[in-house]
Chain A
C-alpha cells in the first residue's frame, strides 16, 4: 500500500507542476518548473520499470530541452515586461473575447483527455504486447538487453529514420541561419571563472560516463542515445564556459559529425542487402554490428544536439548587432 502511495504523490505532483508551468507569468520561472517536471517524470519512468527512458529523460527531456528553453527565456527576458504590460492593458471586447477563446480551448482539451481515458479503459483485458516475442527472439539479436535489441536490431529501420530526423533538424537550424557551419554564432561574452574550471573537471567525467553507458547498453539499461546526450551536455557546458565546442568545427567536420550515423546505417543496410534483407542481421556478427552502429550514434547524437543548442540560441553574424541593440545580453 505504501508503494502505491509513492505513485499517487508522484502523479499528483507532476500534474500540479505541469499546471504551474503553464500559469507561471514569468517565463524564466516557468522553464525552471518545466525542468523540475522532467526530473519528476524520470522518477515516474523508474516506477514504470523503464530505466532506459529515465536516463534519457533526465539527460535530454529535462537537461537539454530545459537549457534550450532557458536560453530562449533569457534572450527574450527584456521583452517580457513589455508583453505583460500590453496583455494587461487590453480592454473592451478584446478582453472578453480571449475569455471565450479560453473556455472553448479548455473544453476541447478536456474532451481530448476524456476520449483518451475512454480509450485506455476500453483496452482489451488480456495483455497484447510484444514482450513475449521480444523475449524469445532476443538471443538471436546479438545483445542481452531487450530495449537495445529492439532499437538496433528488430526495429533498426525506425532508429535509422530517427537519426535522419536529427540530421534534418540540424539542417533546418543551419538553414535558418543561412550558413553551413556554426562559426558565425555568438560565443558567450560573460563567462565565469568557476564555470570554466567546472567544465575542465566535468568534461573527462562526462566522457567516462558516456563510455560506460554506451558499453552497458548491450546487457543492461543504458545505450547509445543516453551516452550521446551526456556527451552533448558536456559540449554545451564547454560552450557556456567560453570554449568553441562544436561551433568551432569547420563545415567538413561538422557535416561529417552530423551525417556519420545516418551514413553508417545506410552502409550496413546496403551491405546487408547482399545477404538477404535491408538492415537485417541476425547472426554471430550481430553484436559487432550493433556496437559499431551504436558508436556512430553516440558521436552523431552528441554533435547534433550540441549543434542544435549552438544554433537555436544565438544569432548569425550579420544580424547579431541589430539584435544586441534591441535586447541587451543578460547574465544569469
Chain B
C-alpha cells in the first residue's frame, strides 16, 4: 500500500464518517461539523492525488484549489453558524422544524 493509497483510503473513510454525521445528527451545529469533516475528506483526496502526480514538487494546481477551499469552508461555516444562531433565536430550538417533529 503506497502513501497515496493510504491517504486516499483515509479520505474515503472520513467522507463516510462526515456524511453519516450530517445525516444522523439533528443539532444544526453538529451538521456543520459533519460538513467540515466531508470537506476535509475532499481536500485530503485532492492533495493525495497531487502527491501522486509529483515531479520536482507536488502538483501545485490541487494545492491552490485546496487552499482556496479551506478559506471558503471557514467562511461558509461562519455563515452557517450565524444562520443556526438566528434559527435558535427565532424558534428556541437548535434543530430544523422537520427534525423537531420526528423526535
Contact = CB atoms under 8 A, between A and B. Distances in A.
Interface of A: 4, 7-8, 11, 14-15, 18-19, 21-22, 27, 30-31, 34, 37-38, 41, 44-45, 47-50, 52-53, 56-57, 60-61, 64-65, 68-69, 72-73, 75-76, 79, 83, 86-87, 90, 94, 97-98, 101-102, 105-106, 108-110, 112-114, 116-117, 120, 123, 127-132, 134-135, 146-147, 149-151, 154-155, 158-159, 162, 165-166, 169-170, 172-173, 176-177, 223, 225, 229, 301, 304-305, 308-309, 311-313, 315, 319, 322-323, 326
Given A109-B15, A166-B71, A166-B72, 13 more contacts: A4-B3, A11-B10, A18-B14, A18-B17, A22-B34, A31-B33, A127-B53, A131-B57, A176-B86, A223-B67, A308-B78, A308-B79, A323-B89
A22 B89 contact: no
B75 A165 contact: yes
18 contacts: A19-B17, A44-B7, A50-B47, A108-B19, A109-B15, A109-B19, A112-B15, A123-B52, A129-B62, A131-B59, A134-B61, A162-B68, A172-B82, A225-B70, A305-B78, A308-B79, A315-B85, A315-B89
B76 interface: yes
Closest 6 CB pairs of A and B: A129-B53, A169-B75, A308-B78, A105-B23, A113-B16, A146-B60
The SS class assigned to the B binding surface is: helix
Contacts of B76: 165, 169
B24 interface: yes
B98 interface: no
A101 B24 contact: yes
B70 A53 contact: yes
Given A69-B29, A113-B13, A129-B53, A50 B58 contact: yes
A304 B75 contact: yes
A301 B78 CA distance: 14
A49 B58 contact: yes
A146 B79 CA distance: 31
Contacts of B13: 15, 18, 113
Contacts of B36: 34, 65
Interface residues of B, number: 77
B7 A7 contact: yes
Contact of A135 (B6, B11, B55): B55
A154 B61 CA distance: 9
Contact of A15 (B14, B45, B47, B56): B14
